[in-house]
Structure 1
């Protein structure tokens, strides 16, 4: 039995494979752009494959190691990475990971899934109703720059 949009039903193998391919493709594309493709993958894993939330998060982290490596290589070749700033952010990110793992363990899978869904809704609403000049980019000479 496969769970599709919250409804359990049998799905032909080819549909399951196509759904997995699309989830992987969209997660990789969005992740390579640095836009958080993990949300797509976690939604796919939890809704379509009945994977528990915490397990889906672990799969998501492993999935993005090669995706991130490829994206970093491309951005580094184009000299679009500020390495000093990246190091500082990464150190704080590691602290955030430790704190996040602690809270995920305390909250459990079900509540973690609800918190994750709530954050997605808040971020989505914010993106729809917030207009920021910093997010408006102009393509010029292969690089994105602030709007002039």
Structure 2
């Protein structure tokens, strides 16, 4: 039941375009005691079907700027290759701490945006 719940919430977050890994990886590490490298692998593999479904829905709703996809995807593939090789050389403890710091920074940025700019139209560009 734990994995069903984790997968469900990761799917919701992933479907909204925020990256299901932000839920899936910490949940697998904290609640299921899975090694961070294994959790990252599970996240990558499970994201494929979730991403395909979400992509079709977003394209259908005309929420995708296709001219941006090619450069972002191309450099994303390059980054994924580099990150995968880098992860093989880093310990699980370092990856766990780095991901925690990353989530903390993203969380603080989102809180700041919510406090400083509660309405999109008032945010400086």
Using structure 1 for the length normalisation, give the TM-score: 0.74
Give the counterpart of 2:83 among 100, 109, 112: 100
- Using the TM superposition, give the Cα deviation of residue 136 of structure 1 relative to its aligned residue in structure 2, in angstroms: 2.3
Distance in 1 of aligned mates of 2:47 and 2:90:
24
Counterpart check, 1:126 vs 2:112: no
- Out of 22, 46, 67, which is 2:29 matched to? 46
Match of 2:42 in 1: 59
Q: Which residue does the alignment assign to 1:87?
A: 70
Mapped partners of 2:120, 2:44: distance in 1: 29
Deviation string for 1:29-75 (max 9, x for gaps)? 01001012211111111111111101100000111111111001111
Distance 2:26 2:70 in 1: 30
Return 5+ residue gaps in structure 2 as ranges.
none
C-alpha separation in 1, matches of 2:58 and 2:96: 32
TM-score w.r.t. the length of structure 2 is 0.87
1:109 equivalenced with 2:92 (yes/no):
yes
- CA radius of gyration, larger in: 1
Aligned equivalent of 1:136:
120
CA RMSD of aligned residues (A): 1.9
* Higher relative contact order (Cα pairs below 8 Å, separated by 6+ residues): 2
